[in-house]
Structure 1
């Protein structure tokens, strides 16, 4: 019973905040999704990443091991997803990116914070950065039929991660007024990302939810399994191991739908994958956390 209550305490704020966004839009209220997304991804999330790393009491070697494990895990997921799509004769542009990339930002970061505290959040931002780098390069390339690695290095969150890692490694910090400002800016990120997730799901128009649910469940199990193998291979300790598994098992990100819409893939099918995987995560993520805590 204590374990159940602990898991509910962790996941309830995450899904309740997303529900607020969902109900807000369904009630007819305005929510400027593009503006909020740009604000969080350009300012508040990079600030959150940087301050989390600078203030983290973590051995830099542990972060290096986690970074390598995350890169290997995403490589394994990419190969597995590609094989699945080829065997099932699905459209590569529509399915590959959603099957690789989970919602490590909107859901993964808050879950890591609530489940494992500030230390867990510091680990989670590393996995998030690895995912973002792969998404901005390979993910865009697959969905659009072309891409540039330069785009990834123009993203503020990539630079925030790099600078935060350097500051952590060297033991540096910024003047107190600067750290306080960035900390306040970063605190905006988590509630906004969760509310925005609910808003985005409320505006999707999915089709084929039954098939999408089966694919989404398979993705969650496969990603968690590959992440666990990568974590064991690199000898990760309990907290970074759990963070890696949870991050990779997060549901399909809304950004996959946005990319499909932008580049002419089957966006309605991707919308179904996003909705189905998000709903399934209400069960999948608590079960994972119960196994990992």
Structure 2
């Protein structure tokens, strides 16, 4: 019973905030998702990443090990998802990127924070940054054929990650007044991303639900297995191990739908994956946490 209550305390705020966004839209209130997403990805999330890295107590060798484990996990996920797409005779350009890249920002960061505190958030930020760089290069190339290094360099979250890592490694700190300001900006990120997730799910019009269900179940099993194997192989400590599994196992990101629409892939099919995998995560994420907490 205590374990169940602990898991509920961790996941309930995440899904309740998403439910607020979902209900907001269903009640007919306006929500400018493009503006909020831009605000989050260019200001609040980079601020959150920078402060989390600057203030984290992760040892450099542990940081390197987690990074290598994350790269290995995503390598296994990429190979497994490629096989799933090919065996299922699905369109590579539409399905592969959404299956690889999970919702490590909107869902993964809050889960890591609520489950494992500031230490967990520090590890989650590192894994999120690795996934984001992979997504903005290989992911965009998959969907559009036009991924480039310049797109990565221009992303504020990448700059914030590199700057935060520098401050962490050399043990620098910004002046207190500036740190307080950046922290306030970063504190907007998690509730804003979760509410936006609920709004986005409420507005999606999915199709091919039966295919989305089967594919989402396979994705969840593959991602958990790949992250677990990478964590064991690199002998991660309990907290980074748990955070790696949680981050890699997050459901299909809403940004995958936005990219599919932007580059004229099958947006409705991706919408189905987002909705189904997000709903499915309400079941499998608490179960996964029960084994990790």
**Is the shorter-chain TM-score for this pair beyond 0.5, marking a shared fold?**
yes
Aligned to 1:122: 122
Deviation at 1:88, TM superposition (A): 1.8
Give me the whole-angstrom Cα distance separating, in 2, the residues matched to 1:272 and 1:153. 31
Structure 1 counterpart of 2:52: 52
Specify the alignment match of 2:89 in structure 1. Answer: 89
* Residue in structure 1 matched with residue 267 of structure 2 by the alignment: 267
Give secondary structure in 2 for the equivalent of 1:279: helix
Q: How big is the shift at 1:140?
A: 0.4
Separation of aligned partners in 1, 2:87 and 2:272: 21
Q: What residue is the counterpart of 1:184 in the other structure?
A: 184
Query: Offset of 1:233 from its aligned partner?
Result: 1.3
- Structure 1 residue 70 and structure 2 residue 79: aligned? no
The Cα shift of 1:150 comes to 1.6
Partner of 2:287: 287
Which residue of the partner structure matches residue 164 of structure 2?
164
Deviations 1:51-105 (A, max 9, x none): 0111112212111111111111111111111122122211001100011000000
Q: Deviations over 1:192-245 (max 9, x none)?
A: 000000000000000121220111011011001101111111111000000000
Q: What's the offset of the Cα at 1:146?
A: 2.2
The superposition leaves residues 241-277 of structure 1 with CA deviations (integer Å, 9 ceiling, x where unpaired) of 0000000100100000011111111110000000000
Q: Quick one: distance in 1 between partners of 2:57 and 2:149? A: 32
Q: Give the distance between the partners of 1:206 and 1:111, measured in 2 at CA.
A: 26
Local SS of the residue matching 1:58: coil
Q: Which of 158-167 and 272-281 deviates more?
A: 158-167
Q: For 1:22 and 1:142, locate their aligned partners in 2 and report how far apart those are by CA, in whole Å.
A: 30
Runs of 4+ in 1 over 6 A off after TM superposition: none
Which residue of the partner structure matches residue 31 of structure 2? 31
Q: Distance in 2 between matches of 1:203 and 1:64?
A: 39
**How far, CA to CA, are the matches of 1:39 and 1:146 in structure 2?**
25
Which residues of structure 2 form unaligned runs of 5+?
Answer: none
Q: Report how many residues are paired.
A: 293
Alpha-carbon shift at residue 159 of structure 1 (Å): 1.0
Take 2:228 and 2:153, find their aligned partners in 1: how far apart are those partners? 29
Q: C-alpha distance in 2, partners of 1:219/1:61?
A: 30
Separation in 2, partners of 1:138, 1:191: 29
> Unaligned stretches of 5+ in structure 1?
none
Identify the residue that residue 107 of structure 1 maps to in structure 2: 107
Question: Structure 1 stretch 205-214 or stretch 135-144: which is displaced more?
Answer: 205-214
What is the CA distance between 1:149 and its match in structure 2? 2.0
Q: How far is the alpha carbon of 1:145 from its aligned partner?
A: 2.2
| Cα deviation code 1:114-159 (max 9, x no counterpart) | 0000100000000000000000000000001222122011111111
In structure 2, distance between residues paired with 1:35 and 1:61: 38
Q: What residue number does 1:141 align with? A: 141
Q: Give the 5 Å matches for 1:219-258.
A: 219-258=219-258
Mapped to 1, the partners of 2:6 and 2:131 lie a distance apart of 28
Rounded Cα–Cα distance in structure 1 between residues aligned with 2:134 and 2:58: 25
Q: Secondary structure at the match of 2:146?
A: coil
How far apart are the structure 1 equivalents of 2:126 and 2:221?
22
The separation in 2 between residues aligned to 1:170 and 1:291, in whole angstroms, is 36
Higher deviation after alignment, 65-74 or 193-202: 65-74
TM-score (norm 1): 0.99
